[in-house]
A and B are shown apart, each in its own frame.
Chain A
Amino acid sequence: DTAVSQTPKYLVTQMGNDKSIKCEQNLGHDTMYWYKQDSKKFLKIMFSYNNKELIINETVPNRFSPKSPDKAHLNLHINSLELGDSAVYFCASSRGGETQYFGPGTRLLVL
């Protein structure tokens, strides 16, 4: 069974569209994260939720909005997509501040 899963794996869309990426973890963790990895492989945290509450919100355009319906899910909604949003987005989860387990990533390409 996949511990941290993301859908979709690939997402190709036009500039200006709104899209969502879903993340689910079956590890019973209480903390979930979204990271962005750019073309140079630099991995940067965007958001973190602990028990459904936002605890980390890095400098990210407000077009990005995370939503955590329950502790096992953290979705990422992106409004008005721009070319610069093209990247690989990783979801991760952890128990408190312990080891983070990453999902397989969602490859977003904005045309």
Chain B
Amino acid sequence: TQLLEQSPQFLSIQEGENLTVYCNSSSVFSSLQWYRQEPGEGPVLLVTVVTGGEVKKLKRLTFQFGDARKDSSLHITAAQPGDTGLYLCAGARGAGSYQLTFGKGTKLSVIP
């Protein structure tokens, strides 16, 4: 089983602070996805990264895929209470792979 380790598991910060969440594996993935899940809802896709070294930005969120395609990071600038949620990374094993392996998530709380 290919495992994805996410860190930190929990993160509580003040509004306006910056933060980074990490997703690491010993295995290579063809692509990696980041989801956000809010209480009582299903995960919602934020971004997919495919190419080693790729950087994608979504407003205040910056996603990076490691050069070796084994790890990824999510950086949030000037966090807001609306960023609160569970952030999940998920790796796909092959191009067009149906099977995603999920990390255990980072629970982020942004305090006003």
Physical interaction between A and B: yes
B42 located at the interface, meaning its Cβ lies under 8 Å from any Cβ of chain A in the complex: yes
Q: Tell me the complex Cα distance, A99–B44, Å.
A: 10
Q: Tell me the complex Cα distance, A48–B96, Å.
A: 14
Of residues 49 to 98 in B, which have CB atoms within 8 Å of A's CB atoms?
86, 88, 90, 92, 94-98
Contact of A48 among B37, B41, B99, B105 (CB under 8 A): B99
Residues of chain B contacted by A103 (CB below 8 angstroms): 42
Residues of chain B contacted by A55 (CB below 8 angstroms): 98
Given contacts A102-B44, A105-B41, contact A44 B98 (CB under 8 A): no
Contact B42–A42 (Cβ < 8 Å): no
Interface residues on B, range: 20 to 34
Question: How many interface contacts (CB-CB < 8 Å) are there between A and B?
Answer: 55
Most buried by A among B44, B100, B104: B100
Q: Closest CB of chain A to B89's CB: distance in Å?
A: 11
Interface residues on A, range: 20 to 34
By secondary structure, the A interface counts as strand
Contact A31–B98 (Cβ < 8 Å): yes
Contact A104–B40 (Cβ < 8 Å): yes
Contact B98–A97 (Cβ < 8 Å): yes
Contact of A43 among B40, B41, B43, B45 (CB under 8 A): B43
Contact of B98 among A41, A94, A102, A105 (CB under 8 A): A94
Knowing that A41-B37, A44-B102, A105-B41 are A-B contacts, what are 12 other residue pairs whose CB atoms are under 8 Å apart, sorted by A's residue number?
A40-B104, A43-B88, A45-B99, A90-B43, A94-B98, A96-B98, A97-B92, A97-B94, A97-B98, A101-B45, A104-B41, A105-B40
